[in-house]
Structure 1
């Protein structure tokens, strides 16, 4: 099977796995992120402009100490500029409790490629080298404030950086092998590896999340490309709607996918409604629970049900 391009981009929880980059960065890291900042270029509360040269130090390593909010933007977009200014203001007001990193996708396309960016502006928050939340497009100032506050709250007391060998998390060989299969696009081998991890540790969150994503990728990449048109022509066909939602998620049209199934919940009853609701919740679980689109969709689903 041809390896599909990464789905959903950074919005999908865990879809962008930077663990390999983090490991390399730690091996080559300066004594502290502050030391690395000496050569990082313009920075401070207003944000650090990210290039290939300083990406590892100012994004991956820095996120061991405080949450790093990465803004992928273009100076050709007024919306991007407005969002950059809004985030810069919040970063300045918060005085170092989190770090703003800005990536001009035109000037640093390879950095943008790491995040699987399909549109700008895209914002990805990282902690301990991994994405923990994200969104695309403009956001109201009050929602931005709440989003940043949620990042600070979620990481409070959990980020201190690795200061000694005792602080460095031991790499699980089984997990490393599973990640390697996943990064290589070998979904069968990756799923087998993660299943073995779950057999030994039934509560392993990484394995559970990875299997959900692998199953989604396998199913969605096999849907017919005109699935959306087919579903639009038969709005009462549940299976057609499921296929269309998969394709829309794969193409990062997240709200449209959620709204399609929420509309179907409104128009069904009994077992059919339960079936649609179950699929929708499964799709929610692919994302960070704090993702604004997931929060909105859960609220809309509750309204549709009650």
Structure 2
């Protein structure tokens, strides 16, 4: 697994390391507020990061060469902030994690999936504006048994 990404707390600005996988929820070391949980996964660490997550996972299957993937990326990051403590957001580069891409039938990207222990609860293909993405996440979380 890669180094823990550094996330600035949206409440106090303190920079925190947020591990890709953890038992609890990521909280700011200074103010103790919940932090957005946005991380990457590969085929090698997918089980630990996604399937063993206590929270529902918004998985973004993307590629660096994909223009629409770059368009949807800010909305995906916004979902991590908006649903801090309720949702883990995991980005999966389909060029690197080819087994995961095949497993979830990523024939078109960007592909957004709401997962519960690795099982698909909702699916969104293609780039959508941030407000539509957040509505989709909200509706999908309402349908998910893990929410």
- Deviations for 1:230-287, whole angstroms, at most 9, x for unmatched residues? xxxxxxxxxxxxxxxxxxxxxxxxxxxxxxxxxxxxxxxxxxxxxxxxxxxxxxxxxx
Bigger Rg over Cα? 1
Q: How far did residue 135 of structure 1 move?
A: 1.4
Structure 1 consecutive aligned stretches of length 4 or more whose deviation exceeds 3 Å: none
TM alignment of 1:144-155, pairs within 5 A:
144-155=133-144
Q: For residue 50 of structure 1, what is the aligned residue in structure 2?
A: 41
Counterpart check, 1:135 vs 2:127? no
The size of the alignment, in residue pairs, is 118
Q: How far did residue 45 of structure 1 move?
A: 2.3
CA distance in 1, matches of 2:106, 2:39: 19
User: RMSD across aligned C-alpha pairs, in angstroms?
Assistant: 2.3
CA distance in 2, matches of 1:139, 1:46: 21
TM alignment of 1:1-306, pairs within 5 A:
34-35=22-23, 45=36, 47-62=38-53, 65-155=54-144, 158-159=145-146
What is the TM-score when the length of structure 2 is the normalising length?
0.71
- Deviations for 1:122-172, whole angstroms, at most 9, x for unmatched residues? 1111124310110111112222111111122223xx438xxxxxxxxxxxx
Bigger strand share? 2
Are 2:55 and 2:88, in contact at CA under 8 Å, matched by a contact in 1?
yes
- For structure 2, the 5+ residue unaligned runs are 1-20, 26-34
Alignment CA distance shift 1:75-1:46 (3 Å): farther
- For structure 1, the 5+ residue unaligned runs are 1-32, 38-43, 161-306
Alignment CA distance shift 1:108-1:68 (3 Å): same
- Deviations for 1:72-112, whole angstroms, at most 9, x for unmatched residues? 00111221012122111121122121111111111221221
Are 1:125 and 1:132, in contact at CA under 8 Å, matched by a contact in 2?
yes
